[in-house]
Structure 1
Amino acid sequence: MEHNTNQNSNYLALLNLTDDGTYTVTKIEIIGSNKFVYIEKNLKPTLCPMCQSRMHSKGIYVRKVNHPISQDSMNTYLIVRQRRWVCKECGHTENDSFPFLDKYSHSSNITPYLILNAFKTLTKSTAEIAAQFNISDSAARLIFKRYVDLPRLPLPEYISVDEVYLDISNTEKYAFVIMDFSTGEIIDIVHNRWHSTLENYFLSIPLKERLNVKGVISDAYKTYLTMPEEYFPNAVTILDRLCKALHKRSYVKQIFM
């Protein structure tokens, strides 16, 4: 499908580019469930930013960039034609720049923000979000970790631990949640509940802080039951079924203080 003037303007707007003749959408192709949008920077005299001499084109290379902006049933890719430039006076080299694209990136700049917005839907797994944006599970997790800073809160005297089904990946179905037993506030979330992961996590917390913990409330999962022995020398294990039977959290605290 060839482009027209309106399509050129529409796609430039989607990429946050001004329709001033700097960039052109040269072609739009639809092959099966994939849409390919060809874009390039129009040729014009280019001066070296180092010595202001005129630069010379050393040819064009093509980049295929994932751009899930439409969020319909089709996968959208940008086929970006970039010229290489060299200054024969000082030897400086550079490539055509595109505001929507970082160096070496395989996805447009807007992709991480769309992915982070998708993570707000708690019923969606990481695998589902990755499939929605045509990226791998590991890439989706890396984007989340890169942009979302969730610092751990200080450990209270009584912590409640449990798992929650998040289906992060094929091997990590359950995340490990630490809560303040008294307030219900989430202290931190660990990406799995494996013993090796929890060992590295808790031993990275200064011993002085871990000594303040007096009780670990959990179910009868073996890894949870041994936490006081392994990480909290001053704490005891409290089965959460006991807490439910007593109803009042303050009474549980009185027993073990």
Structure 2
Amino acid sequence: MDNNTRKMLGLTDENITFPENWLKDTKIKGVTAQLISGSLTYNPTHCEKCGRKNQGEIVKNGTKTTRTQMALFRNTLTYLELKRSRFLCRNCGQTFMAQTPIVARHDHLAKELKYQILLELAQVSSRKSIAQRYFVSDITVLRIQEELAKTYHKSYQTIPQVLCVDEFKSMKSCEGAMSFICVDGTNNRLFEVLEDRRLDKLVQYFMRFPRKARLGVRYLVMDMNASYQQLIKIIFPNAQIVTDRFHIVQQITRSLNQLRIKKMNAFNTSNPEDKKKYRRLKRYWKLILKDSDSLDNRQLAYHSMFKRHLYAQDIIDELLSYDSQLKLAYEAVQLLHYYRKKKDTDG
């Protein structure tokens, strides 16, 4: 699954990996549904039970498969089935499971699905009709409404110092194609959901707050959307932009792919040897963009373009031998992947 598909489906957690055939049509409780399969694992920084920092005492201890109901995609019921790593802390002897920001702990509804239901609640719609539209129970809609009432108190006097902003696909009844969500970065509580993410609508909303409150915003955590950068200049002049890691990875991956295309198109395809290199770079583009840790180097397979059996890493090495600049860029991207996973910003 490429980064654009991840973003479209709301699956931006970089700790989740997907197999080649990650989507299948099925029936769940008699309803036609799309089932997305993936795996979730990472290196925990500490034990969730005793709080001890991980210095080698936390090890993997099997897996557990969970199923999360996602936001509707093409008006179809969609589930994410994750094989999650279970970890054992040798210090306290307790186990805990890998978590993802896509869904809250112990919840079976994705956060984005809840956001869509919240938008529906703001419209003139009955709970029953919302429940039917999103394949949930009336009680579930009521529970989401009550959760909102506990955490969300409308006030135009204060704004959190850290604002995490993002966008998600709107309902058909909304004016804009994409909606806007804003979360307090200090406590992960919902701050606002707006049905239109366009800049003029955001400016109109945030200008309701006093200037003193807007000047108090220190950080805006966001993707690389240029319109949000304009929001900084107009509304939050004292804030600094913090780009979340997923969008950094997305940007460097896109840049590497653009370089691959540039080098590929530089070959003279009327020359047989150059044409061979051109076709290989075009055919195996996904391998170049992959994190090297996710390459399958256990399977030796025959590749007709090379006319021999090769491991995935052998193909990468061959492709990178065609251009020194492409090789240097690939190694730089892999180094960034390494430090991202290790969370070592000093690297």
In terms of fraction of residues, the more strand-rich structure is 1
Report the TM-score, using the length of structure 2 for normalisation. 0.37
TM-score, normalising length: structure 1: 0.48
Structure of greater Rg = 1
Greater per-residue helix proportion: 2
